[in-house]
């Protein structure tokens, strides 16, 4: 059974001026997402600045999301690492904190082989009793979970339930769906490819766009799930200008700027990420106005 279908938000982690997590604003963001139809909260992933949160902060953010969501929608905790033992420890802690599932990014920097990826994900998934979503994002990790590897994991590892596909390669996504033969749910990891991936059999998106346009992102996925791809394509195309601006600098710099423009006090990203450049922020603002979210 799918962890969720539809639009899951890759939610940001709000920060105070002193750099601490701002849980009051985090709660506001979660409530706003639920109120606008978001189908799942994905906490402390890339958009949540996982690389610069220490372990205690990381788990506390997941625990807070679980408590605030109160089982209204699933909470998926980002617990991936390029250190398998560390990922196992974080995954177990996320399970204790009440997470409904895990998001496991491919190991970065050390660039495991495909056999290494199989053993890495198998070891993590078998250490817990909740489902895992693999996260394939070669542009960030330097590691590509090939279709045969993803399919093997879906078929042979009980708790490997899905993959977030952000390779940008539609042919690869299609092959993953083909080879997995129903053993692996597929989520789009790119907001500009929600409709193409869902038209091939994907069941939703793990979305940056949803941070600032939760209802609109949900509506794109809902149209796909209802089989209305004409409507879905029109909604997807309408969102493209804003999506481009949300990735005009490295995520989550633009989405934090966008949320600030909407009045959420999410603060600046932690270093080494910095605030959005003024000219990019102006283009982002105009795209938000045109899209109707500002």
Is the distance from CB of 23 to CB of 64 less than 8 angstroms? yes
Helix (H/G/I), strand (E/B), else coil: 173: helix
Mean pLDDT value across residues 40-53? 97
For residue 85, pLDDT beyond 90: yes
- Please state, as a whole number, how many other Cβ atoms lie within 10 Å of the Cβ of residue 17: 9
291: number of Cβ within 10 Å: 19
* Closest by Cα among 64, 77, 63, 58 to 8: 77
Closest CA to 150 of 89, 167, 83, 18: 167
Note whether residue 272 is domain-resident: no
Q: Tell me if 84 sits within 8 A of 113, measured CB to CB.
A: no
Q: Are 148 and 177 in contact (CB under 8 A)?
A: no
- What integer pLDDT is reported at residue 138 of this predicted model? 96
Number of H helices, E strands in the chain: 12, 8
Residue 199, domain CATH: 3.20.20.70
**Residue 205: beta bridge partners?**
7, 188
For residue 174, is it within any domain?
A: yes
Give the residue numbers marked as catalytic.
135, 164
pLDDT at position 58 over 80: yes
If you average pLDDT over residues 268-294, what whole number do you get? Answer: 98
pLDDT for 2-11, tens place per residue?
999 999 999 9
- What average pLDDT does range 208-230 have in this prediction? 98
Residue 87 belongs to some domain of the structure: yes
Q: Which domain holds residue 110?
A: 6-233
Looking at residues 184-188, what average pLDDT do you find?
Answer: 98
What is the spatial distance between Cα 143 and Cα 256, in angstroms, rounded to a whole number? Answer: 27
Cis upstream peptide for 272 (omega within 30°): yes
pLDDT at 1 over 90: no
> Coil, helix or strand for 42?
strand
Q: What is the C-alpha separation between 242 and 254, in angstroms, rounded?
A: 10
Query: In total, how many domains does the chain have?
Result: 1
Q: Is the pLDDT of residue 250 over 90?
A: yes
What is the mean predicted confidence (pLDDT) over 246-251? Answer: 98
Using the predicted structure, report yes or no on whether residue 61 has a pLDDT greater than 90: yes
Mind listing the pLDDT tens digit for each residue in 100-137? Answer: 999 999 999 999 999 999 999 999 999 999 999 999 99
What digits encode the pLDDT tens for the residues 129-172? Answer: 999 999 999 999 999 999 999 999 999 999 999 999 999 999 99
């Amino acid at each position: 059974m799918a962890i969720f279908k539809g639009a899951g938000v890759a939610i940001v982690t709000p920060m105070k001026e002193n750099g601490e997590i701002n849980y009051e604003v985090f709660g506001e963001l979660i409530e706003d997402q639920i109120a606008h139809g978001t189908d799942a909260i994905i906490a402390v992933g890339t958009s949540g600045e996982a690389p610069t949160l220490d372990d205690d902060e990381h788990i506390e953010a997941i625990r807070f999301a679980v408590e605030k969501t109160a089982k209204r929608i699933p909470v998926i905790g980002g617990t991936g690492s390029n250190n398998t033992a560390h990922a196992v420890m974080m995954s177990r802690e996320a399970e204790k904190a009440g997470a409904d599932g895990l998001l496991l990014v491919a190991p970065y920097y050390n660039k495991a082989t495909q056999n290494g990826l199989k053993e890495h994900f198998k070891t993590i998934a078998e250490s817990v009793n909740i489902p895992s979503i693999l996260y394939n994002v070669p542009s960030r990790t330097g590691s590509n979970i090939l279709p045969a590897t993803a399919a093997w994991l879906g078929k042979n590892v009980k708790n490997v339930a899905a993959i977030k596909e952000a390779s940008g390669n539609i042919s690869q996504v299609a092959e993953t769906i083909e080879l997995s033969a129903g053993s692996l749910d597929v989520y789009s990891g790119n907001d500009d490819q929600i409709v193409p991936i869902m038209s091939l059999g994907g069941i939703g998106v793990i979305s940056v766009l949803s941070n600032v346009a939760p209802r609109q992102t949900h509506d794109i996925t809902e149209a796909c799930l209802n089989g209305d791809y004409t409507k879905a394509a029109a909604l997807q195309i309408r969102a493209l200008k804003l999506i481009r601006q949300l990735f005009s600098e490295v995520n989550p710099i633009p989405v934090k700027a966008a949320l600030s423009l909407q009045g959420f006090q999410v603060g600046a990203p932690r270093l080494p990420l910095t605030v959005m450049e003024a000219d990019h922020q102006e283009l982002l603002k105009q795209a938000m106005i045109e899209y109707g979210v500002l």
